[in-house]
Amino acid sequence: MRKSRLSQYKQNKLIELFVAGATARTAAELVNVNKSTAAYYFHRLRLLIYQNSSHLEMFDGEVEADESYFGGRRKGKRGRGAADKVAVFGILKRGGKVYTVVIENAKRETLFPVITKKIMPDSIVYTDCLSSYDVLDVSGFSQQCQSCCRLALHLRHIRRLALASARDFNHHPVAMQHA
């Protein structure tokens, strides 16, 4: 990065640790910089990634869409238990990019504007059989609703992303300013 007082070696080492998924505190210890310096550098890297990403690009072709819930395990009664959890809706273009957004709930009125903003009409959208996705069939999308036995095959990429994200967030919490 330009205008940095860090040596090129330390910058490269911080980038390497950022890509490896290390925390800023761990990276600071390994590179021998202050932890706030490493945190600031990681923050600047995230901003660069966001500014250079094609987040306005629409997906076409085969696309997977699914919602996941993040948060701690509830005590008491077992079940779906989405109370006190954050709902995240994800869209994944097969062999390509991912778009995620925090949603208020998984209802049709919430999901459909996100889908129309990010997915081109005439795309094949693989979903689970949630009733919120029923509107896709009549709105220019080709929806492939999969029953439970075939669901794992068609939504494996987006589900794998959700599991990996949940695992990472358990070990590396995200500050509210980045949520």
In a domain, 57, yes or no: no
Q: What is the mean pLDDT of each run of 10 residues along the chain (179 residues)?
A: 82 93 93 94 90 78 82 62 75 81 84 86 79 64 56 57 64 58
Q: How many domains does the chain have?
A: 2
- Are residues 116 and 47 located together in one domain of the fold? no
- Are residues 103 and 23 located together in one domain of the fold? no
Q: What is the pLDDT of residue 9?
A: 93
pTM for this prediction: 0.59
The pair of structure tokens assigned to 118 is 């990010």
CATH number, domain at 98?
3.30.420.10
Q: Which residues pair with 145 in a beta bridge?
A: 127
In a domain, 135, yes or no: yes
In a domain, 124, yes or no: yes
Please tell me the distance from the alpha carbon of residue 117 to that of residue 101, in angstroms, as a whole number. 12
In a domain, 3, yes or no: no
Determine the structural domain holding residue 37 and report its residue range.
8-52
Q: Which residues pair with 70 in a beta bridge?
A: 86
Please tell me the distance from the alpha carbon of residue 29 to that of residue 31, in angstroms, as a whole number. 6
- Are residues 43 and 69 located together in one domain of the fold? no
Q: What is the pLDDT of residue 149?
A: 41
Closest CA to 82 of 72, 91, 92, 96: 72
Q: What is the pLDDT of residue 34?
A: 94
Q: What is the pLDDT of residue 51?
A: 83
- Are residues 68 and 41 located together in one domain of the fold? no
- Are residues 87 and 166 located together in one domain of the fold? yes
Q: What is the pLDDT of residue 152?
A: 47
- Are residues 33 and 67 located together in one domain of the fold? no
